[in-house]
Amino acid sequence: MFGPSIPYKAIMPQRPRKSAPRPGQAPVLTRPVVLVDAPVDSPSDAPADVPADVLILGAGPAGLLCALTAARRGRQVALVDAAKTTARKLRASGGGRSNCTNLDASPAHYLTADPRFPAQALKRFPPQAFLALLAKLGLSAHEEDFGRLFCDQGAGKLAEALERACRKAGCRFILGRQVTGVSPGEAGFRVDTDKGPLTSPRVVLALGSPAWPALGGTDSVARLAGSLGLRHLPARPALTPFTCTGATLALCRELSGLGLTATLSCCGKAYTDGLLFTHQGLSGPAALQISSHWRKGEALTIDLAPEADLRQLLRDPTRGKALARTVLAGLLPRRLAEALLSDKIGAALPPELADAANRRCAELPKAHIEALAGVVHAWQVTPSGTLGMAQAEAASGGLDTAQFSPKTFECRTLPGLFAIGEALDVAGELGGFNLHWAWASGFAAGQAV
Ligand SMILES: Cc1cc2nc3c(=O)[nH]c(=O)nc-3n(C[C@H](O)[C@H](O)[C@H](O)COP(=O)(O)OP(=O)(O)OC[C@H]3O[C@@H](n4cnc5c(N)ncnc54)[C@H](O)[C@@H]3O)c2cc1C
């Protein structure tokens, strides 16, 4: 199932491109231009005064895969990153287990202004291609639910293996170096950093998004876009937990740590997956998924028992003598059923319904059956907010994709400039789709730079 079905060599051309540049495209320089610059201080970093014909800004997963692909084509590649450690988000991904791809990595799983944009790159670098790369790196993955693939060796080993492969392919890392500006010049691009400028004929923006700043998320792409005259769609937190107030918060706190499978819907979207009650509100995969679509003030509709039908159970003549609360307790986790019926929390059930739950099923009027079913299958919760960028696994918004080729990821108005990964207005659903986008876009640009 997980063995590589596409030979790695078939998807990773080894020879440098020799063809002449197309009109409007930056020339492929045989002697790259570079500004001499002071070496960076970290012993693991390469001096910045060695020529590079591709400068990749950001050594996250998108930058690393782009670098590896380009270096294996014979390009001289250097990666610049503000952090002293590469790919910090990748190292933290999947709680350290890295949900590194998804067997169903198709455009339907991405939030972007142009849903057609990701299609080409995803087609050219399917999950099987990533699995083939993993195998080449001496790593493997296993499937969990919903086609989600996790790296058997963990996120840290995956990041280490990618960095090692890049170094082996000749890529140089300029770490601890913050990019402050990018501007087009006669011989390509000038990249300003906090330790002096660099130049290169080709520059790849792989600087990610502002999501989860404690792991290196910054708004650098938005700032660079402004100075380069590129459109940038406002970044919004995606895949982030909800906060609640009042009675709902009291219920969440009472149930903190409890998880169950639920369907959360809002804004025409619905996700069935794990829901977790927390001290701040609601989290878990289903809550993170719907948070990418939620807007402040909107109510979430939560089905706490999506695989059952409480109406049917309460009307079932064989349960006529059972108390409604017993049926409820059989359907939901015990703590949740008790909390919903407890007047001390007063969160979900109005008093008359709590009374109804103490009656036998056969005695329940239709209105009470409907109301009880409504609480279980269509619980209305209006979160007060989310934990925002601070704990967002991704951000929607980013560089408007209309400005970039969906094949090469090169900027249409600034030839020689590329953008990949979360820097672009493409945000994936939870389940390995964001990392897969980093791989697919990095691979496509790596073949073109
Ligand atoms: C906690 C957490 C868990 C996650 N788990 C998963 C998961 O299991 N599966 C999944 O698919 N996705 C997951 N994601 C999302 C995934 O990690 C990101 O979508 C992915 O890392 C984006 O890759 P990128 O290379 O585009 O950007 P990034 O990984 O953000 O890399 C950008 C790089 O640019 C550098 N940088 C930024 N600004 C500057 C600057 N001005 N100068 C120099 N360098 C700069 C940063 O230091 C960083 O190294 C998770 C995210 C988080 C935060």
The finding on whether 387 has its CB within 6 A of some atom of ligand 1 is no
| CA distances for 416 relative to 200, 380, 411, 448, angstroms | 9, 50, 7, 10
The H or E element spanning position 427 is: strand 427-428
Domain 242-386: top CATH class:
mainly beta
The per-residue pLDDT for 307 is: 94
Q: What is the pLDDT of residue 375?
A: 87
Alpha carbons 283 and 275: distance in angstroms, whole number: 6
Ligand 1 centroid to residue 212 C-alpha, Å = 8
The residue to mutate among 88, 109, 207, having the most atoms of ligand 1 within 8 angstroms of its beta carbon, is 207
Ligand 1: which of 149, 198, 203, 393 to mutate, most ligand atoms within 8 Å of CB? 393
If pLDDT is split at 50, 70 and 90, which confidence band does 285 have?
A: very high
Q: What is the pLDDT of residue 6?
A: 34
pLDDT for res 24:
36
CA of 60 to the centre of ligand 1 (A): 6
Q: What pLDDT, on the 0 to 100 scale, is given for residue 247? A: 87
Confirm or reject: Cβ of 212 under 6 Å from ligand 1: yes
**282 strand-pairing partners:** 242, 277
Please determine, for residue 40, whether its predicted confidence score (pLDDT) is greater than 50.
Answer: no
Q: Is 60 in the pocket of ligand 1 (CB under 6 A)?
A: yes
Quote the ligand 1 centre to 27 CA distance (angstroms).
30
Residue type for 350, please? Answer: P
Which is the closest atom of ligand 1 to the Cα of 392?
Answer: 53
Q: What is the mean pLDDT of residues 209-233?
A: 98
Ligand 1 pocket residue status of 118, Cβ below 6 Å: no
Please tell me the distance from the alpha carbon of residue 410 to that of residue 24, in angstroms, as a whole number: 11
Mutation to probe ligand 1, out of 145, 173, 205, 435 (largest number of atoms < 8 A from CB)? 435
- Residue 193 Cα to ligand 1 midpoint, Å, equals 20
pLDDT confidence of residue 47: 55
Atom 22 of ligand 1, nearest CA residue: 422
- The token pair at 85 is 């450690």
What are the tens digits of pLDDT across the range 306-340? 999 999 999 999 988 999 989 999 999 989 988 88
Cα of 381 vs its chain's centroid, Å: 25
Q: Where are the domains of the chain?
A: 8-236+391-448, 242-386
List Cβ<8 Å contacts ≥24 apart for 321-326. Answer: 321/360, 321/361, 321/362, 322/360, 322/361, 323/357, 323/358, 323/359, 323/360, 323/361, 324/356, 324/357, 324/358, 324/359, 324/360, 324/361, 324/364, 324/368, 324/372, 325/357, 325/358
Does the beta carbon of 216 lie inside 6 Å of ligand 1?
A: yes
Angle 203-206-212 (CA atoms, 0-180°, nearest 5)? 155
pLDDT of residue 46: 54
Q: Output Rg (C-alpha) for the chain, integer angstroms.
A: 26
Among residues 338, 339, 334, 239, the alpha carbon closest in space to that of 284 is found at 239
pTM of the full structure: 0.89
- Cα–Cα dist 87/160, whole Å: 9
**Average confidence score pLDDT of the chain:** 88
Are the C-beta atoms of 20 and 149 separated by less than 8 Å? no
Element (H, E) at 281: strand 281-283
% of the chain surpassing 70 pLDDT: 87
Q: Which of 45, 93, 101, 218 to mutate to test the pocket of ligand 1 (most atoms within 8 A of CB)?
A: 93
* 227-252 pLDDT, tens digit each: 999 999 999 999 999 999 998 999 99
What would the DSSP string read from start to end of 251-277?
Answer: HHHHTTT-EEEEEEEETTEEEEEEEEE
- 176 has pLDDT over 90: yes
182 CB less than 6 Å from ligand 1?
A: no
Spatial strand order of the sheet with 281-283 comes to 379-381, 300-303, 259-266, 269-277, 281-283, 242-243, 385-386
Kindly report, residue by residue over 333-380, the tens digit of the pLDDT.
989 988 887 765 455 566 667 778 888 999 999 988 998 898 899 999
Alpha-carbon dihedral sign for residues 285, 289, 292, 296: negative
Rounded mean pLDDT, 263-278: 97
The answer, yes or no, to whether residue 276 has pLDDT greater than 60, is yes
CA angle, 11 then 14 then 15, to 5°: 130
The CA 50 to ligand 1 mean position distance, Å, reads: 27
CA of 168 to the centre of ligand 1 (A): 23
Q: Are strands 417-419 and 203-205 parallel, antiparallel or unpaired?
A: parallel
Of 49-63, 109-123, 235-249, the poorest mean pLDDT is in 49-63
- Give me ligand 1 centre to Cα 445, in Å: 17
For the Cβ of 179 lying below 6 angstroms from any atom of ligand 1, the answer is yes
The fold of 8-236+391-448 is FAD/NAD(P)-binding domain (3.50.50)
Whether 152 shows a pLDDT value over 80: the answer reads yes
Residues 352, 368: Cα–Cα separation, whole Å: 9
- pLDDT value of position 35: 32
- Residue 22, pLDDT above cutoff 90: no
Any idea which of 15-19, 410-414, 433-437 has the lowest mean pLDDT? 15-19
The pLDDT value recorded for residue 4 is 34
pLDDT at residue number 1: 33
Contact 420, 118 (CB under 8 A): no
The protein residue whose alpha carbon is closest to atom 30 in ligand 1 is 208
Nearest CA to ligand 1 atom 26: 421
CA–centroid distance for 431 within its chain: 8
Phi, psi for 200 (deg, rounded to 5): -165, 145
In this prediction, residue 304 carries a pLDDT of: 96
Nearest residue by C-alpha to atom 6 in ligand 1: 93
CATH topology match: 8-236+391-448 vs 242-386? no
